[in-house]
């Protein structure tokens, strides 16, 4: 027995998905409160993505602000297609990071605040935190040794928890290509990480 295909408009949305859609639709009509709620929901995700890519808190803050400014200017043209609004924001952030590095403005600068916030020693840090930090440091170094596309795939899939479809959308690729990219990246990470890690 064959069943009729379900029309996209009849697929029930989760309450959170429905709430995000409502906020996006309100923001598209100029509702600044709705856009503010979207900002609150996604600012940390965008900031973490940008920071990992640029490695500077100050620059990450600037590019995150630019991302939301660009999103605010372009939200009227955003078409809701059931995908996560965060994927659209990360795509904007990705483009801004790419533009930044292409422009040659990527000087290595460290703000005084970043220097003052850096701990000088770690005796006050509990042992578990030190071990976790060491493992994370090994993993992040290994991720940074990957090619740019593999890095981005790993970051989006595992650091930000995006689905294959969302990752494909952000990276402008098909889901099958993301699966293959992810597989190659995981194999490369397995070879790059110390055998006794974790």
Instruction: Name the residue ranges covered by the structural domains of the chain.
Output: 13-118, 119-198
Task: Provide the 3-class DSSP secondary structure of residue 130.
Answer: helix
**How high does pLDDT run on average in the chain?**
76
Max Cα–Cα distance, the chain, nearest Å: 69
Least confident segment among 20-34, 62-76, 113-127, 146-160: 113-127
- Distance CA(169)–CA(28), nearest Å, equals 21
On the question of a common fold for 13-118 and 119-198, the answer reads: no
Average pLDDT of the segment spanning 107-126: 47
Average pLDDT over residues 124-138: 53
Architecture per CATH, domain 119-198, reads as: Orthogonal Bundle (1.10)
Q: Provide DSSP, 35-64.
A: HHHHHHHHHHHHHHHHHHHH--HHHHHHHH
Give 65-74 contacts, CB < 8 A, sequence gap 24+. Answer: 66/96, 67/92, 67/93, 67/96, 68/39, 68/43, 70/96, 72/35
* Residue 180: per-residue pLDDT: 87
pLDDT of residue 125: 43
Question: Which carries the bigger pLDDT value, residue 28 or residue 81?
Answer: 28
For residues 138 and 194, the answer to whether their CB atoms sit within 8 Å is yes
Provide the pLDDT confidence category of residue 134 given band limits of 50, 70 and 90: low
- CATH classification (class only), 13-118: mainly alpha
**Both tokens assigned to 102:** 């292409």
Distance CA 8, CA 26 (A): 21
The count of other CB atoms within 10 Å of the CB of residue 77 is 7
Q: What is the pLDDT of residue 7?
A: 39
Compute the average pLDDT of residues 129-152.
73
pLDDT tens profile 9-65: 444 456 777 888 898 889 888 888 888 899 999 999 999 999 888 888 888 898 998
Euclidean distance between CA atoms 61 and 67, whole angstroms: 10
């Amino acid at each position: 027995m064959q069943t009729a295909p379900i029309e996209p408009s009849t697929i029930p949305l989760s309450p959170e998905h429905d709430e995000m859609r409502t906020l996006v639709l309100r923001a598209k009509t100029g509702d600044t409160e709705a856009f503010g709620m979207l900002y609150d929901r996604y600012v940390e995700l965008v900031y973490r993505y940008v920071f990992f890519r640029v490695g500077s808190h100050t620059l990450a803050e600037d590019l995150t602000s630019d991302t939301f400014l660009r999103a605010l200017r372009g939200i009227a043209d955003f078409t809701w297609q059931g995908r996560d609004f965060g994927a659209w924001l990360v795509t904007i952030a990705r483009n801004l990071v790419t533009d930044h590095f292409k422009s040659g403005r990527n000087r290595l600068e460290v703000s005084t605040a970043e220097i003052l916030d850096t701990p000088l020693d770690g005796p006050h840090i509990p042992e578990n935190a030190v071990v976790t930090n060491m493992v994370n440091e090994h993993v992040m170094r290994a991720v940074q040794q990957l090619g740019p596309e593999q890095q981005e795939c790993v970051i989006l899939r595992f650091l930000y928890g995006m689905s294959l479809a969302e990752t494909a959308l952000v990276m402008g690729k098909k889901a099958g290509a993301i699966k293959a990219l992810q597989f190659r990246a995981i194999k490369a990470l397995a070879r790059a990480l110390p055998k006794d890690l974790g």
